[in-house]
């Protein structure tokens, strides 16, 4: 029967996408069998549920096709004598619980939120972020641009990367590095490998360390990340440029985690070697991990993303509309989603069927403004707003009346153009380290929601509507 099971498994592999097979089918093993039933072993209840709901008929068809008509049942590895019924439980009307919430519902959980409060820090300080419920491996659309990054992330989550427990996800904004990094956390929690998954940005980590120093609790901070963390997900690593104290602390923390065979996921827009003012010790440790890059999705991948997202919204767009959106919005996934949501929302609010005319009316402004925005046009817009000359904005002047517009222009160039940070810096006759500092400075001030916040909103609206 073992050889028969291997043949069934190999046939199933040809019927499902490769990444689905690696995630859901490959871990399944043959546990028991008799004349009319086969019992398959799964890692946990969540696996059993997913297999029943999505792959049960595939298994039964392959057994039947190979001449063995049997009833397929699933049994979790941790159960003793308790066989999981193959009949899916009925959902209440309107219940859309799936993915991560399904995983948590299938495993005995405390009454508190999905991710427990992170230990070691005063509860009054927000020391971590919640994983987004739809940022799972199942919800990620794999294409040629992301296949390696997806495989590496999944293998790390399943503990199958040889030689390293650390990966570095590299991509421009909006291409899926946050999705994949959080998917690792979801998978580990859902499969009961650990609930000590810490998801933070580099800015969070820095602010938390400063908070701990000011409140004389740095030992608790160190203990939390060095001793009580099984999986560290740290995003936007380029934010640490020039922050020497934080870099030293992170480098030492990594030593503890790597020595204890913990898992570490970094993400950033720059390769470790390209991040300016980075401590050599931290840089060498970042380069120890597997660096995987996510590129811009091609047309076919964009089309599959739209189909998956529209299905999640509960609507079915005509093929011609999907193809039009995929053709016009090719910069990144966020732009693609924005276009789709705009088309669906207008159709629903206006009570109209979604067709090419409606899609064109929504995408017209988006595509026009995207194609017209350049660094030079942003310079002119900012100079007019702040009443400075273009010569001033690229000069060596350090007067606040010149520095602030220069930082704003760099920030807007980073947000609205596809130019790399080095190119943006050189356009203002500055090193790219200065450009990174300028972008970070504006982002920090925006959180205060003061005058600059209003100015940025005003300028952003002009850029997005093409009225400048």
Q: State the CATH number of the domain containing residue 13.
A: 3.30.300.180
For 130, 199, 214, 222, 229, the CA distances from 210, given in Å and listed in that order, are: 21, 18, 6, 12, 19
Q: Phi and psi for 233 in degrees, rounded to 5?
A: -110, 110
* Region at 112 (left for phi over 0; alpha for psi -120 to 50; beta for the rest): beta
Q: What SS3 state is found at 90?
A: coil
Same domain, 336 and 428: no
Whether residue 201 is contained in a domain is answered as yes
Domain boundary at 371, 402, 433, which?
A: 371
pTM of the model: 0.58
Same domain, 283 and 323: no
Same domain, 407 and 323: no
pLDDT for 60:
82
Same domain, 379 and 365: no
Whether residue 19 is contained in a domain is answered as yes
Q: State the CATH number of the domain containing residue 258.
A: 3.40.50.300
Same domain, 22 and 45: yes
pLDDT for 117:
41
pLDDT for 97:
35
Domain boundary at 293, 311, 327, which?
A: 293
Greatest distance between any 2 Cα atoms in the chain:
85
Whether residue 341 is contained in a domain is answered as yes
How many domains are there within the chain?
4
pLDDT for 114:
41
Yes or no: say if 170 and 291 are a contact pair by the CB < 8 Å rule. yes
Domain boundary at 16, 46, 76, which?
A: 76
pLDDT for 130:
80
Closest CA to 84 of 31, 11, 23: 31
pLDDT for 127:
40
Count Cβ atoms below 10 Å from residue 155 Cβ, excluding itself.
16
pLDDT for 372:
62
What is the Cα–Cα distance from 212 to 221, expressed in whole angstroms?
Answer: 6
Same domain, 407 and 312: no
- Residue 192 burial (C-beta neighbours within 10 Å; 0-12, 13-18, 19+): middle
Domain containing residue 327? 299-371
Yes or no: say if 343 and 328 are a contact pair by the CB < 8 Å rule. no
What is the Cα–Cα distance from 46 to 463, expressed in whole angstroms?
Answer: 46
pLDDT for 100:
33
Would you write out the chain's pLDDT as a tens digit for each of its 468 residues?
A: 677 788 888 888 887 777 677 778 888 888 888 877 888 888 877 778 778 877 888 888 888 777 777 788 888 864 443 433 333 444 443 443 333 333 333 334 344 344 444 444 333 333 457 888 889 998 898 988 899 999 999 988 887 666 678 899 998 888 989 999 999 998 988 887 777 888 988 888 898 899 889 988 899 899 989 888 889 999 988 888 888 899 999 999 998 998 888 999 999 888 888 888 888 888 888 888 888 999 888 888 999 999 888 888 888 888 888 888 888 888 788 888 888 888 888 888 888 888 888 888 888 867 655 556 788 889 999 999 899 999 999 999 999 999 999 999 999 998 888 778 888 999 999 988 899 999 999 998 888 888 888 889 889 888 877 666
Whether residue 113 is contained in a domain is answered as no
Whether residue 133 is contained in a domain is answered as no
Q: State the CATH number of the domain containing residue 354.
A: 1.10.8.60
Burial 78-109 (b: 16+ CB within 10 A, else e): eeeeeebebeeeeeeeeeeebbbebbbebeee
**Sheet harboring 71-76: ordered strands across?**
29-33, 37-42, 71-76
Return the H-helix or E-strand segment holding 166. Answer: strand 166-170
Closest CA to 325 of 360, 369, 365: 360
Same domain, 288 and 152: yes
């Amino acid at each position: 029967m073992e050889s028969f099971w291997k043949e069934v498994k190999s046939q199933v592999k040809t019927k499902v996408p490769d990444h689905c097979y690696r995630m859901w089918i490959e871990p399944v093993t043959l546990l028991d069998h008799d004349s009319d039933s086969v019992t398959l072993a799964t890692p946990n209840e969540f696996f059993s549920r997913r297999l029943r709901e999505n792959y049960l008929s595939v298994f039964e068809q392959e057994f039947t096709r190979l001449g063995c008509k049997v009833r397929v049942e699933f049994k979790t590895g941790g159960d003793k004598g308790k066989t999981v019924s193959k009949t899916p439980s009925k959902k209440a009307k309107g219940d859309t619980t799936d993915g991560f919430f399904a995983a948590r519902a299938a495993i005995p959980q405390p009454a508190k939120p999905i991710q427990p409060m992170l230990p070691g820090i005063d509860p009054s300080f927000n020391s971590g972020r919640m994983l987004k419920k739809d940022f799972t491996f199942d919800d990620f659309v794999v294409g040629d641009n992301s296949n390696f990054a997806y495989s590496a992330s999944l293998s790390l989550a399943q503990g199958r990367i040889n030689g390293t427990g650390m990966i570095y996800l590299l991509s421009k904004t909006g291409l899926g590095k946050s999705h994949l990094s959080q998917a690792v956390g979801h998978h580990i929690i859902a499969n009961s490998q650990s609930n000590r998954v810490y998801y933070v940005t580099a800015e969070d980590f820095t602010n938390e360390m400063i908070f701990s120093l000011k409140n004389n609790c740095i030992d608790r901070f160190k203990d939390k990340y060095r001793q009580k963390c099984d999986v560290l997900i740290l995003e936007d690593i380029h934010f640490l440029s020039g922050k020497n104290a934080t870099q030293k602390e992170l480098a030492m923390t990594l030593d503890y985690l790597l020595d204890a065979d913990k898992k570490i996921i970094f993400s950033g827009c720059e390769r470790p070697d390209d991040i300016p003012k980075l401590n050599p010790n931290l840089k060498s440790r970042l380069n120890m991990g597997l660096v995987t890059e996510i590129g811009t999705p091609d047309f076919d991948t964009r089309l599959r993303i739209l189909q998956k997202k529209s299905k999640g919204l509960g609507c079915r767009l005509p093929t011609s509309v999907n193809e039009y959106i995929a053709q016009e919005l090719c910069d990144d996934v966020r732009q693609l989603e924005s276009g789709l949501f705009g088309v669906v929302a207008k159709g629903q609010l206006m009570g109209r069927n979604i067709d090419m005319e409606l899609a064109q009316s929504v995408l017209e402004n988006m595509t026009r403004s995207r194609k017209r925005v350049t660094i030079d046009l942003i310079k002119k817009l900012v100079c007019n707003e702040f009443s400075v000359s273009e010569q001033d904005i690229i000069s060596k002047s350090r007067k606040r009346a010149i520095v602030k517009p220069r930082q704003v222009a760099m920030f807007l160039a980073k947000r609205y153009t596809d130019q790399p940070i080095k190119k943006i810096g050189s356009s203002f006759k500055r090193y790219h380290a200065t450009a990174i500092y300028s972008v970070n400075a504006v982002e920090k001030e925006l959180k205060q929601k003061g005058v600059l916040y209003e100015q940025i909103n005003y300028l952003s609206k002009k850029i997005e509507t093409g009225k400048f």
